A = this chain, B = another copy of it.
Amino acid sequence: MHPRRVQPTLEVVVTEASIDSAERYQRYGIPELGFRNYWYPAMTARSLGKKPKAVRLLGENIVVFRDGAGVYALQDRCPHRGAKLSPGRCEFPGSGSISCPYHGWTFDGRSGKLVAALMEGPDAAVVNKVGVKSYPVAVRAGLIFIFVGDMEAPPVEDDLPPFMADPAKFFSLSVGVEYANNWRSVVDNFPYDHHAQYVHRNSPELIFMPQLPFAQRITFEDLDGNNGLSFHALGGINKANFPGLGVFPRREFWRFLKPTGRANVGGWDQSKAFRLYGIKSQLELRLPSNVTVGRKSGEYSLVQWAVPVDEHRTILFNINCFRRNGALGELWNRLHYYSWRRWVHDWLFSGQDKTVIEASPPGPERLSRTDAGLVAWRRYAGENARRPPTKLAGLRDAS
């Protein structure tokens, strides 16, 4: 059993007064463009074909391309005349290089160095003298991860929930959806903030299950590795009489199913996920910006990862991680995902979040007891985010 650091956070939060827009995240040191020096999923591996692709991560324009067995990521701007590299192509297959579509300046995918200026001929003096920023790349769980930062990249495994990093035991099926919001509003939706009980209660996934308990007490503890928080929800009610208004929710006779999946809450300590696989709780937030929603069986976990595009846009990846359980079981999981879950959860359920989040423009906030998890996470993230060891170390810009 893991020792648990339960904190009386509910009391802390009540003192939060109305806070204006800029202060909302600034006071915790949570940057508008995302935490740098982390690995982020950029796209699914199978969406990258022979043509290079342009992505935008943390406000940086990046071209990602595939050549032979390698996947590479470079700054998407040729230093010569400023053309994007992403409409370019690999003129020398197998070399791991990409050529600018304007004059054929050719850059090494690994180092970013200019290795040829095609139209200037083989004796071009400029070769090896200039370059573009290169980004560390890793392919895991069917996703292409890119490290955006100013230091030496740690192993990508450091930034992944354990099961995502273990292809022998797990496989993943993912989809990314763009939100017209800053990434922080998307992450605010991750902790136990009691929105699920209200926003999703009539989603196809939950409509026939008992109403999830609300007005719970939220506690949390460090994840091993100092890169996240494990959340626990205690107590709560399913229904209440609100003075002067009436009962909420009203009697809903169609909620007759036994709770399964996400609705199967409570008693995590007795679950297989906890006892066999060491997953501390049903909800775990990790730096820089992802959440794991587990199942008691431990056979399936959903990871949601908010990837900052720029100040006003975010890609939310729904990463569905299944425990490998033989060829037939895996086939079943794939069928079930593509025919049902991708639509019902990744589209409809997540779409309910998207609707409210995109209708929450920046401005002041007035937090309350139910935001205990939110405040805990902001504080934790601001204090524990990875930072370069010294200010001058590890700059990878080759230019």
Contact = CB atoms under 8 A, between A and B. Distances in A.
Interface string A95-106: 101000111101
Interface string A231-252: 0000001001111111010000
Contact of A356 (B79, B87, B248, B356): B87
Given A81-B188, A121-B240, 17 more contacts: A80-B365, A81-B367, A82-B364, A95-B246, A101-B355, A101-B359, A102-B198, A103-B193, A103-B194, A119-B194, A119-B195, A119-B197, A120-B214, A120-B370, A122-B242, A124-B215, A126-B369
A274 to B, nearest CB: 26
A203 interface: no
Residue in A18, A82, A126, A244 whose Cβ sees the most chain B Cβ within 10 Å:
A82
B240 A102 contact: no
Contacts of A193: 103
Contacts of A125: 14, 368-369
A102 B360 contact: yes
A199 interface: yes
Interface of A: 14, 18, 77, 79-84, 86-87, 91-92, 95, 97, 101-104, 106, 115-122, 124-126, 130, 188, 193-195, 197-199, 214-215, 237, 240-246, 248, 355-356, 359-371
A159 to B, nearest CB: 28
A355 B86 CA distance: 11
Contact of A121 (B82, B83, B87, B215): B215
A44 to B, nearest CB: 24
Contacts of A198: 101-104, 118-119
The 8 closest A-B pairs by CB, nearest first: A121-B215, A119-B194, A84-B359, A92-B245, A119-B214, A83-B360, A116-B242, A79-B366
* Copies per complex of this chain: 3
B126 A368 contact: yes
B366 A80 contact: yes
A71 B19 CA distance: 31
Residue in A79, A83, A214 whose Cβ sees the most chain B Cβ within 10 Å:
A83
Residue in A91, A125, A197 whose Cβ sees the most chain B Cβ within 10 Å:
A91
Contacts of A240: 121-122
Contacts of A106: 242, 245
Contacts of A80: 365-368
Given A81-B360, A82-B362, A360-B84, A115 B245 contact: yes
A77 B355 CA distance: 14
A241 B122 contact: yes
Nearest to A83: B360
Contacts of A248: 91-92, 104, 116, 118
Residue in A198, A246, A363 whose Cβ sees the most chain B Cβ within 10 Å:
A198
17 contacts: A18-B130, A79-B366, A80-B368, A81-B371, A82-B364, A84-B361, A87-B356, A101-B356, A102-B198, A103-B193, A103-B198, A103-B370, A119-B215, A120-B214, A120-B368, A126-B366, A126-B368
A167 to B, nearest CB: 33
Nearest to A79: B366
A305 B104 CA distance: 25
B214 A368 contact: no
A95 to B, nearest CB: 5
A368 to B, nearest CB: 5
